[in-house]
Amino acid sequence: LAAALGAALLRLAAAFAVPDLLAAAATAWAIAFLIYLWLFAAMLVSPSLPRRG
């Protein structure tokens, strides 16, 4: 998903002739945001998981 989103952002940036640095920054931000959402979801789910030990 992250790779597909990054590729889509790079294609969008290329279509609008945005500098490579800006495209890379947008891709990195999108990936970081996905990681943040994944960690947030894990934090919400973790209390309901059975605890071992």
7 assigned to some structural domain: yes
19 assigned to some structural domain: yes
Give pTM, 2 decimals: 0.46
Contact 33, 12 (CB under 8 A): no
51 assigned to some structural domain: no
Domain count, the chain: 1
52 assigned to some structural domain: no
Which amino acid is residue 4, in one-letter code? A
Mean of pLDDT over the chain: 80
| Phi, psi of 51, rounded to the nearest 5 degrees | -95, 130
53 assigned to some structural domain: no
Residue 53 clears pLDDT 60, i.e. is over it: no
Structure-block tokens of residue 49: 């998981």
What would the mean pLDDT of 37-42 be, rounded to a whole number?
Answer: 90
C-alpha to C-alpha distance for 50 and 53, rounded to whole angstroms: 10
10 assigned to some structural domain: yes
Q: Can you give the pLDDT at residue 34? A: 93
Q: Which domain holds residue 33?
A: 2-46
33 assigned to some structural domain: yes
C-alpha to C-alpha distance for 46 and 31, rounded to whole angstroms: 22
What would the mean pLDDT of 12-41 be, rounded to a whole number?
Answer: 83
